[in-house]
């Protein structure tokens, strides 16, 4: 019975006896006791050979004190995951491009068309809009306004192309249609070159046309409510007060952009927005019978999933006969809370979703409340939820705002009044009709891409907030915020 030493991983077991009468399997069982490696997983190496379970000790010529090497672990054998990963290389050719890059293609500049390219890139970043456009069928277009139809169809085709293409897309058809619909974009200089245009104008017109054409919303039966209105429409409730007579009238209106007015005391988007909600206007007072100064104060009464904020950077400068630019630095946040600008009713309405949202966030961070408290909280929340929604119904009825009423009971997630920045359209230069427009769009992966016409450039999030103006660098002109939503309760 020779004794050998067995080396296993970094351990050495000295003085292991081998019973040469028994088959090697018995020896393996001996080692199982020492190492915990099941015999069938053991590989014993003797001078370049493997010890077989039924091998012959004689032929191996084991010597006293020889060193054997044991290889094996009790570890689980790795198994392929049931669902293997999907590889880009397996995808159909036309999807490979965007999947591999993680962002869509750029748009070719067709001669001072960066205003249009950047607008399109920003709007393209709204998935709901893309979806709605995809479903836009040609049949709808046989209505009264063929040019609007063709512009919508052109937008649809262009967006489709952007989704598929790896190379920069040339929006030739879209541009032609746009110019035929809105001839102001076809202005030419003396040399016959097309002129730079205001991106905001392009944005407004495009959104307007789309709001006209995209009628049906898949999740909404009400035909009057258009996709665009649902996505971007901000409903204002304003009270117009005459300073002199004290008379008050209220009105509600839906706009597609929040304006951030820039004056000398505005340093932050928040201040600018606040500024914009209060305005003075001349209006005929029915009581006084003449036009007097009225003060208009507005509050948001309904928040859309996408909030468009425009920095009113351009004003008409009479002396130079062109739109001049305010270069003032106005900071804007990556996360915007618009609660301050809401009507009391809306604030009340937002309470529920905000609470739910906050709880979800807390849970994510890992702050776990005691179970009991939690249960109570949820109950309270439910109570709160039902009560607010009840109130809402009444309130809405009272204020005869049909457009918002059906929202209350809709099963979709609730907006919370908190918004994330998802796209920025910037301008660089001294006047709206010159300089350069660029779109900065956040991707699904959380990374930012600067779409400088046909060139997509990776950017860091920190750099996005640096586009706030105050120099000759790109400065934000239009910001697109996406609502953080809480699940319906």
Partner 1 sequence: MAPENSKDSHAMDQDVQPPPSKLLPKEAKKKKEEKKDEDLSEEDLALKQQLELYVERVQDGDPAIQKMALEAMRQEIRTATSSMTSVPKPLKFLRPHYGTLKSYYEKMVDSELKRYLADVISVLALTMSEDGDRESLRFRLQGSIGDIGSWGHEYVRNLAGEIGNEFQQRQTDEQPVDDLMDLVKQIVPFHVKHNAEPEAVDLLMEVENLELLTQHIDKGNYKRTCSYLTSFASYVPEPDDTLVLDIAYQLYCKFEKYPDALRVALRMDNTQYVKSTFAACKDLLEKQQLCYILARQGVLLELDEELADNDEQRELLQELISNSKLSEGYLTLARDLDVMEPKTPDDIYKAHLVDGRASAGASVDSARQNLAATFVNAFVNAGFVQDKLMTAPSMESSTGSSSGSWLFKNKEHGKASAAASLGLIVLWDVDGGLALVDKYLYSNDNHVVAGALLAVGIMNCGVHNECDPAYALLFESVNKEDPTIRIGAIMGLGLAYAGSQKEEVLDLLTPIVQDSKVGIEVAGFAAMALGLVYVGSCNEDVAQSIVLALMNRSEAELGEPLARFLCLGLSLLYLGKQDAVDATMEVAKTFHEKISKYCQVTLDSCAYAGTGNVLKVQALLSLCADHLEKGDSHQAPAVLGIALVAMAEELGLDMAIRSLEHLLQYGEQNIRRAVPLALGILSVSNPKISVMDTLSRLSHDTDSEVAMAATVSLGLIGAGTNNARIAGMLRNLSSYYYKDPSLLFCVRIAQGLVHMGKGLMTLNPYHSDRFLLSNVALAGLMSFLHGSLDMKSIILGKYHYVLYFLVLAMQPRMLITLDENLKPLSVPVRVGQAVDVVGQAGRPKTITGFQTHTTPVLLATGDRAELATEKYIPLSSVLEGFVILKLNPDYQQDHLSS
Give the residues lining the site for partner 1 (CB under 8 A): 7, 9-10, 41, 43, 45-50, 67-69, 71-73, 75-81, 84-91, 98-103, 166, 443-445, 447, 449, 455-458, 460
Closer to partner 1 by Cβ: residue 64 or 444:
444
Residue 294 annotated as catalytic: no
Closest CB to partner 1 among residues 38, 111: 38
- Rounded to a whole number of angstroms, the minimum distance from the CB of residue 166 to partner 1 is 7
Among candidates 299, 323, 301, 320, which has minimal Cα distance to 312?
A: 323
Closest CA to 489 of 384, 367, 374: 384
- How many CA atoms lie less than 13 Å away from 106 in the CB half-sphere? 19
Distances (CA, A) of 89 to 104, 118, 243, 443, 484: 18, 31, 69, 21, 34
Minimum distance, C-beta of residue 312 to partner 1, in the bound complex (Å):
32
- Closest approach of Cβ 454 to partner 1, in Å? 11
Compute the distance between CA of residue 329 and CA of residue 259 in angstroms, rounded to an integer.
Answer: 16
CA-CA distance, 396 to 199, in Å (whole number)?
36
Q: Closest separation between CB of residue 41 and partner 1, Å?
A: 7
Q: Which is nearer to partner 1, 281 or 458 (by Cβ)?
A: 458
Cα(418)–Cα(336) distance, rounded to whole angstroms? 6
Residue 102 or 402 having the CB closest to partner 1: 102
On whether the CB atoms of residues 232 and 304 are closer than 8 A, the answer is yes
Question: Measured between alpha carbons, how far is 319 from 429 in angstroms, rounded to an integer?
Answer: 19
Closest CA to 313 of 80, 149, 109, 474: 474
Closer residue to partner 1, CB minimum distance, 98 or 416: 98
Q: Which residue among 114, 122, 202, 479 is the active-site one?
A: 114
Backbone dihedral angles phi then psi of residue 279, each to the nearest 5 degrees: -145, 160
Q: Give least dist CB 418 to partner 1, A.
A: 25
For this structure, is 260 an active site residue? no
- Asked if residue 311 lies in contact with residue 477, where contact means CB atoms within 8 angstroms, the answer is yes
Q: Write down the catalytic residue from 230, 268, 436, 474.
A: 436
Which residues participate in catalysis according to the annotation?
114, 436
């Amino acid at each position: 019975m020779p004794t050998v030493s067995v080396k296993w991983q970094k351990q050495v077991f000295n003085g292991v006896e081998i019973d040469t009468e028994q088959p090697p399997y018995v020896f393996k069982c001996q080692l199982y006791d020492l190492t915990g490696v099941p015999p069938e997983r053991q590989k014993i190496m003797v001078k370049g050979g493997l010890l077989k379970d039924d091998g012959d000790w004689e032929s191996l010529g084991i010597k006293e004190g020889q060193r054997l090497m044991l290889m094996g672990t009790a570890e689980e054998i790795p198994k392929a995951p049931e669902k293997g990963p999907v590889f880009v290389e397996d995808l159909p050719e036309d999807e490979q491009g965007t999947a591999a890059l993680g962002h869509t293609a750029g748009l070719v500049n067709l001669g001072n068309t960066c205003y249009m390219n950047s607008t399109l890139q920003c709007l393209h970043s709204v998935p709901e809009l893309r979806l709605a456009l995809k479903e836009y069928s040609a049949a709808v277009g046989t209505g009264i306004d063929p040019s609007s139809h063709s512009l919508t169809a052109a937008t649809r085709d262009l967006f489709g192309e952007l989704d598929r293409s790896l190379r920069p897309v040339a929006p030739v058809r879209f541009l032609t249609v746009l110019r035929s619909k809105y001839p102001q974009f076809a202005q030419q200089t003396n040399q016959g070159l097309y002129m730079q245009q205001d991106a905001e104008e392009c944005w407004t017109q495009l959104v307007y046309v789309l709001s006209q054409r995209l009628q049906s919303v898949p999740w909404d039966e009400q035909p009057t409510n258009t996709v665009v209105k649902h996505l971007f429409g901000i409903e204002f409730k304003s009270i117009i007060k005459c300073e002199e007579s004290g008379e008050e009238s209220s009105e509600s209106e839906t706009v597609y952009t929040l304006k951030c007015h820039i004056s000398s005391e505005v340093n932050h988007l928040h201040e600018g927005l606040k500024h914009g909600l209060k305005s003075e206007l001349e209006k005929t007072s029915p009581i006084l019978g003449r036009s007097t100064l009225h003060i208009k104060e507005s509050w948001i009464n309904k928040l859309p999933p996408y909030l468009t904020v425009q920095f009113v950077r351009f004003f008409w400068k009479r002396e130079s006969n062109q739109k001049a630019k305010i270069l003032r630095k106005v900071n804007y946040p990556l996360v915007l809370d618009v609660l301050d600008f809401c009507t009391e009713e809306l604030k009340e309405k937002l309470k529920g979703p905000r609470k739910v949202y906050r709880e979800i966030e807390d849970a994510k961070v890992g702050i776990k409340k005691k179970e009991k408290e939690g249960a109570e909280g949820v109950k309270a929340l439910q109570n709160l939820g039902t009560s607010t929604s009840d109130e809402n119904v009444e309130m809405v009825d009272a204020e005869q705002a049909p457009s918002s009423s059906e929202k209350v009971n809709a099963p979709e997630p609730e907006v919370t009044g908190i918004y994330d920045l998802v796209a920025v359209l910037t301008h660089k230069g001294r006047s709206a009709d010159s300089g350069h427009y660029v779109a900065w769009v956040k991707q699904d992966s959380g990374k930012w891409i600067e779409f400088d016409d046909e060139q997509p450039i990776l950017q860091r999030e920190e750099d996005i907030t640096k586009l706030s103006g105050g120099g000759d660098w790109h400065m934000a002109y239009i910001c697109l915020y996406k609502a953080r939503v809480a699940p319906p309760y």
